[in-house]
Amino acid sequence: MAPRTFWKGYLKLSLVTCRVAMTPATTENERVRFHTLNRKTGNRVVSRYVDSVSGKPVDEDDEVKGYERGEGDYILIEDEELEAVALESTRTIDIDIFTPRDSIGWVWYDRPHYLVPDDPVGEEAFSVIRDAMAATDMVGIARLVMYRRERAVMLEPRDKGIVVWTLRYGDEVRDPALYFGGIGEAKPDSKLMPMIKKLIDERTKHWTPEMVDDPVQGRLLEIIADRKKGRKRPVKKAPAEAEAQPSNVINIMDALKKSLASDPKGKSGGKAGGKGR
């Protein structure tokens, strides 16, 4: 069963408009979650705000937002002031810019959402916008109020629908030059490249969701299933961390030769047929 729609509105391109519905493309509903309990009573523990100096509980009416301008020095911002700068929720995704699909780096992508037509009447308009973007390898850029803030969103055609990505704000993405700029310009030995490519080739497989399974989630579900049956598993001690390999004493050529001589991982796997996204 498809999850319940969390947003409904209109998709608009110039004078072409259609009704659409949007749902988050990812979910954490299946993740194992725990509550904190009082071991003695079995009751849930309730969180409360307390004064960091006096340690006394703070009444809800006395709670106020504060912006720290110096150590221990805050500017108080009232709820009415925060509400005054809130944006009106718009129900129209008005595409006003198109840009090449590969011109937006992955680091700008935030949350994906599935966008679909919301009635049969608008399906043709939805389909022609989707197919035109796919044919020109373009994505659409619009602005939309989501999660209580105005956000730039990117519309990407995908299969029969459209994926709406919220994009990160400009001040959220760090400049890679600050981190990669210090890496030297030296090129590796040309003899090493074919060996690395062979290792990559031997480990190449088609993408499947099983590649990103959460092993901890599976173990937690096993523990919960045992507890339901009244069984308790013995707790295994975590393995000691392996001693770090010395980074200054290594012969890359020897390491590659040993890697290729050993049983290669994924030798039976097929070639990767598609991109991860």
How much is the pTM? 0.68
CB under 8 Å to 143, separation ≥6 — which residues?
94, 150, 151, 152, 153
pLDDT score, position 226? 75
Confidence of residue 269 (pLDDT cuts 50, 70, 90): very low
pLDDT value at 52 more than 70: yes
- pLDDT mean over 226-247: 66
To 10 degrees, what angle do helices 252-261 and 192-202 make?
30
- For residue 227, the one-letter residue type is R
Q: Where does residue 59 rank: exposed (0-12), middle (13-18), buried (19+ CB within 10 A)?
A: exposed
pLDDT score, position 265? 55
18 Ramachandran zone, left/alpha/beta (phi>0; psi -120 to 50): beta
Confidence of residue 163 (pLDDT cuts 50, 70, 90): very high
pLDDT value at 1 more than 90: no
| N residues, the chain | 277
pLDDT value at 274 more than 50: no
265 vs 135, residue with greater confidence? 135
Element (H, E) at 253: helix 252-261
pLDDT score, position 266? 47
Question: pLDDT > 90: what percent of the chain?
Answer: 34
Contact indicator for 152, 167 with CB cutoff of 8 Å: yes
Question: pLDDT > 70: what percent of the chain?
Answer: 84
pLDDT score, position 203? 82
Cα–Cα dist 35/47, whole Å? 11
245 Ramachandran zone, left/alpha/beta (phi>0; psi -120 to 50): beta
For the sheet with 16-24, list strands across it.
Answer: 92-94, 7-13, 16-24, 109-117, 161-167, 149-158, 138-146, 97-100
240 vs 202, residue with greater confidence? 202
Confidence of residue 130 (pLDDT cuts 50, 70, 90): very high
225 vs 156, residue with greater confidence? 156
DSSP letter string over 194-220? HHHHHHHHHT-----GGGG--HHHHHH
pLDDT score, position 238? 61
Q: Which of 195, 187, 205, 178 is nearest to 257 (CA)?
A: 195
pLDDT score, position 247? 52
Q: Which of 23, 28, 32, 19 is nearest to 1 (CA)?
A: 23
- Backbone dihedral angles phi then psi of residue 191, each to the nearest 5 degrees: -70, -20
pLDDT value at 184 more than 90: no
pLDDT score, position 276? 45
Terminus-to-terminus CA distance in the chain, angstroms? 23
